[in-house]
Amino acid sequence: MPLLRSTVQELKPNQIAIIGLPFDEHSSFLTGPAKAPELIIQAVESDSANYFTESLIDLNEHPKVPWCGNAPLTDYWSIEKAIDQIMEQGAVPFSLGGDHSVTFPVLKAVAKKHPQLSILHFDAHGDLYDELDGNKYSHACPFARIMENGLAQSLTQVGIRTLTKHQNEQAERFGVKVIQMKDWKADMKFEIEGPVYLSFDMDVLDPAFAPGVSHHEPGGFSTREVLTMIQNLNLNIVGCDVVEYNPERDINGVTAMVAAKVVKELVAKVVNG
């Protein structure tokens, strides 16, 4: 059996609404992530694996975890409307991108309900540019837009290994806690009070583990390391996204399966609270 299917209108309070955001028009290097959401779900449902998380939650037709399909996006700003609808139903949004630019309109929706929101951001890149190639909504800019609009009271980034002088200045400007990959230690804890939005960019992983991303940045995490971090979180997670899987660069669907594993463990963390 597959994941439970649901429309957004059928959602119930406290369900974890998995929804695809097939958008990559703000990618700076390669397109392709718009094709990712359905392929991640196919990987979750693949007969090569099973529906159990490592904490033994069975996601097979789990009543709390419906797949709502891809949002019917007409443009960039319709992303916010799609998440608004999930929030109105009292459900927890869990979006599959798409490029990382989607996180800004998603946060615009989530912050309406959670004004004291904090963000935990896994990524090789800070995505704090004021603009890139003249585009202030580039996938390299969402966290600059989020912070300057006051959508989050704090931002913690982990796995960063592409810091520039400009992005370092932006981090200082917005009071961002940046844990560069070179400074990461396995025993680090994320102690963040209040509601937390978790944004997971697939390129936080070393390309040896996740080749299906647009920007190959060596020196990242192993799959086991990120799964252990997720499993050790003790946070009030009120929304998630997994972004930047690019199927056009994948090898034998390996990265889709890694993304599916990340999604399953994040879902388990939200289900367990």
pLDDT, tens digit, 9 for 90 and up, residues 140-149: 999 999 999 9
What is the predicted pLDDT for the residue at 62? Answer: 97
Low-confidence stretches of the chain (pLDDT beneath 50):
none
In a domain, residue 183? The reply is no
- The reply to whether 15 falls in a domain is yes
Determine, yes or no, domain membership for 224: yes
Model confidence pLDDT, tens digit, residues 194-221? 999 999 999 999 999 999 999 999 999 9
pLDDT of the residue at 1: 60
Residue 42 lies in a domain: yes
8 Å CB contact between 214 and 195? no
Does residue 99 fall inside a structural domain?
A: yes
Q: Please, what sign has the CA dihedral across residues 180, 181, 182, 187?
A: positive
Total tally of structural domains belonging to the chain: 1
Residue 155 falls within a domain, yes or no? no
* Residue 147 within any structural domain of the chain: no
Tell me the HSE value of 95 on the side-chain side, using a 13 A CA sphere: 37
* Domain extent at residue 32: 4-113+193-272
Query: Cα separation of 113 and 84, whole Å?
Result: 10
Domain membership of residue 52 (yes or no) is yes
For residue 228, give the CATH number of its domain.
3.40.800.10
